[in-house]
Amino acid sequence: MIRLILPFILVVTGLWAWSLATSGGPWSVYDQGLLLSGWLSIALLSLTMMLALRPAWLERPMGGLDKIYRTHKWAGILAVTFAAAHWLIEMGDDVIEAIFGGVSRLDDLHYSGLIEAMRDAAEEVGEFAIYLLFAMLLITLWRKFPYRYWRYLHRAMPALYLLLAFHAAWLAPLDWWQQPIGWLMAALLAGGSLASVLSLAGRVGRHRQVQGTIAAIGTPEPNITEVTLDLGQAWQGHRPGQFAMVTFNKLEGSHPFTIASADGGDGRVTFLIKSLGDFTRNLAHKIRVGQPVTVEGPYGCFDFNRRNRKAHQIWIAGGIGVTPFLAWLEAASAANQPAPEADLHYCTRNADQDPVVGRLQELCQDFPGINLQIHDSSKGESLSAEVLSASEPSGARTEVWFCGPAGLGRALERGLRAAPLRRSRFHKEAFQFR
């Protein structure tokens, strides 16, 4: 996320500073702050809209669609933050005038005819749109707001962007359009506007969508539903560890689920879905065999083939996060690949009642290089960075692959940075798309 957003902000700010230096002298602090905050806000919003297209070509350099969406989310939050600063600065012009006198250079500019009319309209539209933008951010950050309602509100964001793009284009200084800052603004506004139109037309991810049916439904344990889909020849296959966006109900929309099966070339994919929200709760009773489904993907770079072959492998699965590792082991077994070597840690609440434990043990029998360790919290067993460090040689080069609860992932990653395993590389997926 930081690898993209920070350089992006530096480039945007740098071009603003360059335009300032070539515009005939410094502006007032008010003018500079107003233009820079507005420029950063619309630039980041444009980036947010373009990332929302789910560009497949960015997956590998950014580490997967989950990382793209995390960047999309934080670019949007930063855009609203700069929009708030822009609004506050705009509201402060009367105070500055009362204290220091004079008027802003920006307010002192006068145009005529169509340009003046369009600038007035853009100012009114921008003030209206920014209030809606603040409301959208608050609802997004309010985690208790139901997803099924939020997704419809979020779909209005492209229309809101188009209003803000209109505001930015007409109120930007005219001399900007003859400088690099204006050229970049034009490119960003064009890209963001195109992305908004495609989103409003429902074209996002359309070329990667496949229609299929539910072939089988199971409940290996009360809060987990196992669903096998038949996607036919339209499914181009997947790599173990990838995920897909699955739509069981058009009103509910799509949800990301890790594929729990290896690709057999027959168009069948299996998902293990845990009850984590309103829709996935009692999912087995909401769907039926033969029901049509839409699957978009596959996405993700949680791919064991990308491992560092010189580093010792540590696999950590928490609960339903075991799905990519099941797919890895199944794929290695079916393809008769060289036996992988890794320490596989599986964290479960009750090993005696967890059917995945038996499945893991069965798969690992074929791979003597896999050291399976079960951590049963019902018996007081927990996994920590200290436990991992104690089982590895000090200073050893390691690579950690984690899939599980976000809190556990953060704790392990922080602990390993300070532990003797600080030379490790930590891979994890971020499925909080909202």
Q: At 112, is the pLDDT very low, low, confident or very high (cuts 50, 70, 90)? A: low
- Give the model's pLDDT for residue 301: 85
N- to C-terminal Cα separation, the chain: 15
The Cβ of residue 178 has, within 10 Å, a number of other Cβ atoms equal to 11
46-49-53-59 Cα dihedral, nearest 10 degrees: 60
Domains of the chain plus CATH, in order, are 2-200 (1.20.120), 207-299 (2.40.30.10), 304-428 (3.40.50.80)
Q: At 252, is the pLDDT very low, low, confident or very high (cuts 50, 70, 90)? A: confident
| pLDDT of residue 27 exceeding 50 | no
> What is the C-alpha separation between 113 and 119, in angstroms, rounded?
10
pTM higher than 0.85: no
- Residue labelled with tokens 């007081």: 380
pLDDT in tens, 323-345: 999 988 888 877 666 667 889 99
Q: What is the DSSP string of 162-184?
A: HHHHHHHHHHS-GGGGGSHHHHH
- Give the model's pLDDT for residue 23: 47
| pLDDT of residue 13 exceeding 90 | no
Average pLDDT score, the chain: 84
- Give the model's pLDDT for residue 29: 65
> What is the C-alpha separation between 212 and 232, in angstroms, rounded?
7
| pLDDT of residue 308 exceeding 90 | no
- Give the model's pLDDT for residue 63: 83
- Give the model's pLDDT for residue 193: 97
| pLDDT of residue 24 exceeding 70 | no
Share of the chain above pLDDT 90, in %: 34
Arithmetic mean of pLDDT, 365-380: 89
Phi-psi domain of 12 (left: phi exceeds 0; alpha: psi -120 through 50; beta: other): alpha
| pLDDT of residue 233 exceeding 50 | yes
